[in-house]
Amino acid sequence: MSEVPRDIQNREDINIMVRAFYDRLLNDDRISYLFGEVKGEHLEEHFDILCDFWESVLFFTGQYKRNTMLKHLSLHDKHALTSEHFQIWLAYFNETVDGLFQGEKSRLAKERAHSIAVIMQMKIKEMDQWGS
Ligand code: HEM
């Protein structure tokens, strides 16, 4: 009998997920240039922040107290974030989660990523309208 993939259970699992996800993102020229400022020496720090974020989302630990939306709006201000970028980001995220885990927390992660991506794109549109 083949082994059934298990669900995301703790920060170590999140760490594995985040690194596998960024392995895809940072190796795709269509999107990797947007990560210029966190690549290199800041990458470990960025992974730590992402682990805080996903641990708060999935296990309600509450240690992530930063403003995700504002970070991405200021990113968009420097380099346009397009719907193609969001499609690529989400496809890699879903592919990463599905390749490693399966279960309620895995579903929740994909659902949250999707709804945050929808809201981000709405805020970006608003910003573009007000800015023009
Ligand atoms: C077009 C899609 C996206 C791109 C290109 C992108 C890119 C980035 C970059 C470059 C950073 C580092 C910003 C910095 O430290 O200055 C970042 C941070 C982050 N991103 Fe995204 N992102 C995208 C979508 C999303 C989505 C949909 C989520 C929702 C889960 C998300 C969650 C985060 C979080 C939690 C951080 C850490 C923010 C902080 O420093 O507190 N991103 N993203």
**Residue at 28 is within a domain:** yes
Residue nearest (by alpha carbon) to ligand 1 atom 13? 71
pLDDT in tens, 6-47: 999 999 999 999 999 999 999 999 999 999 988 888 999 999
**Residue 48 lies in domain:** 11-131
CATH number at residue 88: 1.10.490.10
What mean pLDDT is predicted for residues 104-109? 98
Residues with CB under 6 A from ligand 1: 31, 34-35, 37-38, 46, 49-50, 53, 66, 68, 71-72, 75, 81, 85-86, 89, 113, 116-117, 120
Residue nearest (by alpha carbon) to ligand 1 atom 10? 35
Cα 97 to averaged position of ligand 1 atoms, centre (Å): 17
Average pLDDT, the chain: 95
**Residue at 5 is within a domain:** no
Q: Model pTM?
A: 0.96
DSSP 81-117: PPHHHHHHHHHHHHHHHHHH--SHHHHHHHHHHHHHH
**pLDDT above 70 coverage of the chain, percent:** 98
Phi, psi of 101 (to 5 degrees): -135, 165
pLDDT in tens, 2-12: 677 899 999 99
pLDDT at 60 over 90: yes
**Residue at 1 is within a domain:** no
The distance from CA 123 to its chain's CA centroid, rounded to whole angstroms, is: 17
What is the per-residue pLDDT for 2? 60
**Residue at 60 is within a domain:** yes
**Residue at 50 is within a domain:** yes
What is the per-residue pLDDT for 8? 98
**Residue at 118 is within a domain:** yes
**Residue at 2 is within a domain:** no
DSSP state of 6: P
**Residue at 34 is within a domain:** yes
Structural domain total, the chain: 1
